[in-house]
Chains A and B, each alone.
Chain A
Amino acid sequence: MQVRVIGGRKLFFDREGFLNDFEQWSEELFDLLANECGLLVIGEVHWRVIRFLREFYAVNGRVPLNRQLREGTGMSLLELEKLFPEGIRQGARRLAGLPNPKGCL
């Protein structure tokens, strides 16, 4: 568990840098985490991915399936992987403030 103070708030992250509480995410936090992982130019296409991930999670209580992610963002996962310096899971999903997957890794 890592504790960081960002924007005057104490935020908790797991050892892989995933935010503990989905509700604590903010655009300011996204900008900071994106910058830290080398995503320096953030465009509308990035926001489309982040918005889709957050809205899907808020409505369904889980992350989208691979095919739902493709359909929902309107882009292939290969394109999506290239968009974020750390890829899909550690990049897009982590920056969107979604929980760390519990699957076996």
Chain B
Amino acid sequence: MEGHLIYLDNASTTFPKPAEVLTCMLETYQRLGVSPNRGGYDLAVEAGDLVEETRRKLACFFGAPDPDRVIFAANATDALNLAIQGIVGPGNHVVATRLEHNSVLRPLYHLKKEIGIDFDLVPFDKHGFIDPDGIGRAIRPHTKLVVVCHASNVLGTVQPASDVARICADRGVPLLLDVAQSAGLVPIDMTAWGVSAIAFTGHKALMGPSGIGGLVLLPGLQIRPTRFGGTGINSVSVFQDQNYPHRLEAGTLNLLGVVGLSAGLDYLDKTGMGQTLEREIDLLERLYQGLRAIDRVMVYPVAPRQQHTPVLMCNIDGIRSEDVGAILDADFGISVRAGLHCAPLVHQDLGTSPLGGVRFSLGPYNTAEEIDKVLEAMARISRNQ
């Protein structure tokens, strides 16, 4: 292997994190690493202020009016579980899509088995998009929730969330949008779109560390608590506080994660989210055109300019995706994610199950030179040289 590492697994997690994020985390935690809002001493109050300030930043970032309805969780999966299990009950129906990650599919299949919920999974078209009217057609009288992944972690396609939200609002069903892959890349305005809830993670395009994510709710949507414990307020009561965010947050918060997430938001504010996406899509276009020109390489399935995050999946005919990933890693110093990407139904529908594909996901530090090296590597693998 020659040269430096080319990291193209940013859809799993962005790497490396910005130096200012890491520095901020270390300095703040050294100064204020106490239990936020537990106790009245100054450090605890100051740490609590940091948490509340981060809620305000997140509410503003996602176009939500009430910072108290920003609930911290461990990641998007955790937040999705909080929402799904706190909204859906026995006999209820859910609409989701075949683009979903296991973070949605597994809770749904679990609830189907354990408490008898039912659900429909709306298919995507040959370009990787959901038809919002298909969501509308799947809604039934007892549908309690619609869950849609905003951007596919396999295909990179960004779904028409505002159109889906309008249909859900017309039918009186809340829309939970999984923004794990889009937050930090695509502007999200919950109020303007009418999206009832979003589940996000901090460690992808929001540029924070792993272990922090959350749920943001518009006013009106109620979620039952499914875990219980200390909140730092009203300790005399043995029952969970019913006000948000404490209704859904139990136990000491991940302060280090909150600080990193806050610093990640500052970083995005400084670098300009739109410009970053534009640049990454330019590189993705270069990758897409280059891959299409290589013999035996199949790219799935859409031109990246159309509503896309910087994610592209491909295969080389005759070589297993996991082996392509291993060769890229060991021989060329290129890190990619091969396999099924925890989204088994997408691969079923693409015809790439069970072996999956090779996913390239770009980040803010990738360059045109790196993309050219990837194309050279893929051409060599394709030629078996």
By a beta-carbon cutoff of 8 Å, the part of chain A in contact with chain B is: 66-67, 69-70, 76-78, 81-82, 86-90, 103-105
Contacts and interface: CB of A to CB of B under 8 A. Distances in A.
Interface of B: 1, 319-320, 322-323, 326-327, 329-331, 339-342, 354-356, 380-381, 384-385
Contacts of B341: 104
Given A66-B329, A87-B320, A105 B354 contact: yes
Given A69-B330, A82-B384, 4 more contacts: A77-B327, A78-B381, A88-B320, A104-B340
Which among B331, B340, B384, B385 has the highest number of chain A CB atoms within 10 Å? B331
Contact of B327 (A78, A90, A103): A78
A87 B339 contact: no
A105 B339 contact: yes
Contacts of A77: 323, 326-327, 329-331
Given A104-B339, A105-B354, A105-B356, A87 B1 contact: no
Contact of B323 (A67, A89, A104): A89
Contacts of A78: 327, 331, 380-381, 384-385
Contacts of B355: 105
12 contacts: A67-B330, A78-B380, A81-B327, A86-B320, A87-B319, A87-B323, A88-B320, A89-B322, A89-B323, A104-B341, A104-B342, A105-B356
A28 B1 CA distance: 35
A18 B353 CA distance: 19
A77 B1 CA distance: 10
A105 B331 contact: no
Contacts of B323: 77, 81, 87-89
A49 B330 CA distance: 15
A76 B320 contact: no
A66 B339 contact: no
Nearest to B338: A105
Contacts of A89: 320, 322-323, 326
A17 B190 CA distance: 49
Contacts of A105: 322, 339-340, 354-356
A70 B331 contact: yes
B330 A70 contact: yes
Contacts of B326: 66, 69, 77, 81, 88-89
Nearest to A69: B330
A88 to B, nearest CB: 5
A77 B384 CA distance: 11
A90 B385 CA distance: 21
